[in-house]
Amino acid sequence: MNKETISSENSYDLDGVLEYREGTYSTLTFKRHFKADKERLWWAVSDCQGALLWLNPVDKLELTVGGAFSIRTYDENNPSAWTSGIVTEVEPPNVLEYTWNQGPYGGGPAMQSKVRYKLEPKFDGTTLTITHVLYDTAGDKYAVTFLANWHMHLDALTQVLSGKYQNFAEYIERRAEESGLSPREFLMNLVIGLYGAYAKKVGRSRS
């Protein structure tokens, strides 16, 4: 697999950071700067339509503490793998936090976690910090997978905000066509490549 496939179009270094405590928690952090105003980036992280720019479809996101959150996974035939949660903090257009809970998936345990977005205007755009905390043993199984997936989705967001693509679906479809692969094949190759790179970076392999 070539470097372009692994690291995506933006030529980012592997900028995801993992703080790992076996059997206790794992904290994943990404910090990226986007050439977009704060309001547009806030829409991308806090609105169901905005999320289509860079994530899987978000079915529900109620911007109030205690509000519901749900997002589809790649395995739509396995309802236990769908993700849901509740909003725990919201401060438009600066901070959004919600729980991210998922049933048993891929032979791993059920997962409880929390995702936090922080937006800060800087220079010619906005800096977005994403913190994803995986509780208990979930990090033992899923930490590297989430590093790969967040990296991919953030790369897509950069390309979409630049105007090159309209949304995440087009980002995958057009790049798959250029690679001579189906969208699913391209997506899996991209995630697997990023997974391998992050596993090497953090010195861990898939359990």
- pLDDT tens digits, 2-61: 444 444 444 458 999 999 877 788 999 999 999 999 999 999 999 999 999 999 889 999
Q: Is 207 inside a domain boundary?
A: no
pTM of the predicted model as reported, rounded to 2 decimal places = 0.88
Q: Is 206 inside a domain boundary?
A: no
Q: What is the pLDDT of residues 108-140, one digit of tens each?
A: 667 889 999 999 999 899 999 999 999 977 777
Q: Is 146 inside a domain boundary?
A: yes
At 203, the amino acid letter reads G
How many distinct structural domains can be found in the chain?
1
Banded pLDDT at 76 (limits 50, 70, 90):
low
Distant-in-sequence, close-in-space partners of 20: CB < 8 Å, separation ≥ 6: 26, 139, 143, 202, 204
* Chain mean pLDDT for the chain: 87
Task: Indicate the SS3 state at residue 157.
Answer: helix
The rounded distance, in Å, linking the Cα atoms of 190 and 143 is 17
Take residue 161 and report the two structure tokens written for it. 């905000």
The rounded distance, in Å, linking the Cα atoms of 141 and 128 is 26
Q: Is 71 inside a domain boundary?
A: yes
Least confident of 78-82, 89-93, 110-114, 143-147: 78-82
The C-alpha angle 165, 6, 19, rounded to 5 degrees, equals 105
Domain that holds residue 57: 3-200
Q: Is 205 inside a domain boundary?
A: no
